[in-house]
Structure formats: C-alpha cells, structure tokens
Amino acid sequence: MSCAICHTRKEKRFCPALHDRICPQCCGEQREVTLDCPSDCVYLRQAREHEKPRSLDQLDASALFPAVEISKQFVYQQEELLLGVNFALAQAARSDRSLNDQDIISALTALAKTSETLVNSGLHYPAPPGGVRAQAVAGEIEKTLDEYRKLEQKQRGFSSLRDSDLLRVFVFTLRMAHVRTSGRPKSRALVDALLAQFPEKTSVLATPAQGGNRIIVP
C-alpha cells in the first residue's frame, strides 16, 4: 500500500494524527508542520531525542527583545515568580489540550510588548495576543500575577513587583519558550516539557520553590 500523504512511497509507519499509514519521509517532513502529532507518538518521541537543542544565537534576535537585559542574579531573585509564570503556562496547557507552543509564544510576546511600552513610556497600551488560545494563556498568567501580588501583600504588607521586573520575567520566559520549542508550526515540545515539569496538583506560589522545579538559565 502507498503512503496516505504522498500516495507514492510505500507506507511503513502508522500515523496516529491521521489514523492511517504513511512513509518515513512524509513523517519526517510533515511532523508538527501539517500533522497534529500526539505527544505519545513513538516517532515524535524518537525525533525529539535526536534533535539538538535550539540556542538563542540561532533565533531571530528581534523576537527576543534584545534591549532587555536579564542577569543571573535577577533570575535567582525572581525564581519563585518565574516558576509561577511557567506553572500558569502548564495550567493553561492542561485546560486546553489543543494548545501548542506558538500559542504560548504569542501570549508571552504580547505581554512583553505591553510591559515594554509601559516601562518606556508609562502608557498602558495592551498588545492583544493573536488568537483565542493565546488570549487564554495570557489570562492565566495575569491571574497568577494577581495571586502573587496578594501573597506578597499578605506576607510583607506590600507588593514589591515593579513593571520593569514583569518585563524581564516575560522576556526571560519568552526566550526560554523559543529555546524549548522545536520551532515547527504545530510543535508541542514546550507544552509537553511544561506538563512534565508541573504534574497535576502541583502548587508553586503557595509554597517555596522546590529543587525539582528550578529555573535553568540557557
């Protein structure tokens, strides 16, 4: 029998995205491009094991807010908040299984742009995320930030969270997202990594950050 995609080469693999059999070449070329590959696909997992991690130097610098400087000291000081934002991303992904890496990147980009405008001009001019799913991600992050401010207020009597801190948090998380995704249009490598990092019933903001969930600086 021939491949269900190219109809030319011989089929050798069962594709769970198509529920049909395809050839290895089409599997490699269309994986997470035109195919919504489920996370448990054995061929997707094998491909991820052999893919080299992306580095910031390989990416489009303009998408990474190059003017925003983030020190290792800042990451250390804001580790709990950074974990909280990543936890919010995992929660969003768990709530909507159709979410992919580009939805998360779109949401983080919009939040970073809004914060950058606020820091540079003092104007609150929201940059809307593209698409309903990205908007839901941004909403989940905003909810987590509100919870963080309330915890600070309760524990310290005030909230120390500054607009410039939020900008760095969004940009750092965005850069990490670009590194952890495969870059393909339908990639869920980042989503799967977040779900693995934060299993169900995990709580981040309610307790101090634990060693197993530490932020790693690329």
Q: What is the pLDDT of residues 51-73, one digit of tens each?
A: 888 888 888 899 999 999 999 99
3-state secondary structure of 77: helix
b/e 46-69 (16+ beta carbons within 10 angstroms → b): ebbeeeeebeeeeeeeeebbeebe
pLDDT in tens, 77-136: 999 999 999 999 999 999 998 999 999 999 999 999 999 999 999 888 778 888 899 999
Residue 53 tokens, joined: 């991690």
